[in-house]
Chain A
Amino acid sequence: MEIIQYLGGALLIMGSLSLLIASIGLIRMPDVYNRVQTGTKASTLGAILSFLGVGLLSIENWSETNWIGRVIILIIFIIITNPVSSHILMRAAYVMKIPFTIDTKVDKLKEDIENKVLEEPKDE
C-alpha cells in the first residue's frame, strides 16, 4: 500500500499549498469583497484536499478501520456550511455599506435598489 501513502502525502501538500496561496490572496486583495472570495477558495479546495490526504494516509491495511468514511462526512459538511457562512459575511459587509475598491466596474444591486426594483437589504 505504498502508493496510497504517497498519494495521500501529495494531496496533503496540494491542500496546504492551496491554503498558503489563499492567505497570500487575503493580504494582496484590495477590498473586503475580494478578500472573502479568496477566503472561500481556502476552505473549499484546501480543506477538501487536506482531508482527503489525511484519509488516505490513515489507510495502512484495508481490513482495519480507517478514517475514509469520517473524512467524507467532514467534506460534505464543509460543502454545506461554508457557502452559507461566507455569504452571510459578504452580505453583512454590503448592508454595512463598506465601500468597493475603485476598480469595481458595475454594481447591479445598487442600480436595482435605485430603480426601485427591489428594496434595500436590511439587518434582520
Chain B
Amino acid sequence: MKIKNLSVSFIIIMAAWLLLNWSFQVEIVLIGLILSLLLSLLFCSKCQLFSELKLTPKAFAYTLIYIFVFLIELVKANIDVTKRILSPNLPINPGVVKVETTLNSKMARLILANSITLTPGTFTIEIHDNALYIHWIDVKNSDVTEATEILARKFETYLKEIYD
C-alpha cells in the first residue's frame, strides 16, 4: 500500500527533524513539513519496508508496551551479565541453541533478532527461514521448544500484534 509507506516515512522524517531542532517555531515546522514530504515522495514511493506494519490504535499501544518490556529485559540481562563478569570463578555456560519463531513478517523477524542481540547474554548468529541460531552465555535448556519459550516468547507475543 503506497499511502501507508509514504505516511509512515513522512512521520519518521518529521519526528527526526523536530527532535534535531528541538524547537516549535512556525518557520522551522513549515520547513520540516515541506522537506519531509519531498523526501518521502522522492525516496519512499516504492519502498516495502513498512508494508507489513499495522496502523491501528491497538498496534500503537503494543509498540509502546514492547519498548517498555524491551528496556526492562535489557536492564535485567545487564545485571545478570555483570554478576557473571565480576564473580571470581566466571560462571559461564555458553552454547549455540536453536529457536523457532512463529512470526511470518520479515520486519518482525528482524526486530526480534535485533532485540535478542541487544539484550546481553544472547546473540543471534544466523537466521534461516523461521529458525534463529542464538549464542547463549548461560544455556539453561538446549531443547528447541524450551529455548524458544525462554528466549523469544516474551518479545514474540507483542511483535505478533504489531506486524501482520
Contact = CB atoms under 8 A, between A and B. Distances in A.
A80 B117 CA distance: 11
Interface string A17-31: 010011011001111
A7 interface: no
Contacts of B59: none
A92 to B, nearest CB: 10
Given A34-B137, A109-B133, A28 B142 contact: no
Contacts of A28: 85, 90
Interface stretch (B1-9, B40-48, B94-102, B153-161): B94-102
A86 B114 CA distance: 10
Most B CB contacts (10 A, CB to CB) among A28, A37, A87 go to A37
A98 interface: no
B110 to A, nearest CB: 9
Contacts of B58: none
Nearest to B144: A108
B121 A37 contact: yes
A69 B94 contact: no
Contact residues on B (Cβ < 8 Å of other chain), bracket: 35 or more
B20 A91 contact: no
B108 interface: no
Contacts of B98: 108-109, 112
A67 B81 CA distance: 31
B87 to A, nearest CB: 10
A61 interface: no
Interface string A56-70: 000000000111111
Contacts of A67: 22
Given A104-B95, A105-B142, A108-B142, 7 more contacts: A21-B85, A25-B85, A70-B19, A73-B16, A79-B118, A87-B113, A121-B126
Closest 8 CB pairs of A and B: A69-B19, A69-B22, A83-B117, A41-B120, A105-B95, A108-B98, A25-B85, A106-B95
Interface of B: 16, 18-23, 74-75, 78, 81-82, 85-86, 90, 92-98, 113-114, 117-118, 120-121, 123-126, 128, 131, 133, 135, 137, 139, 142, 144
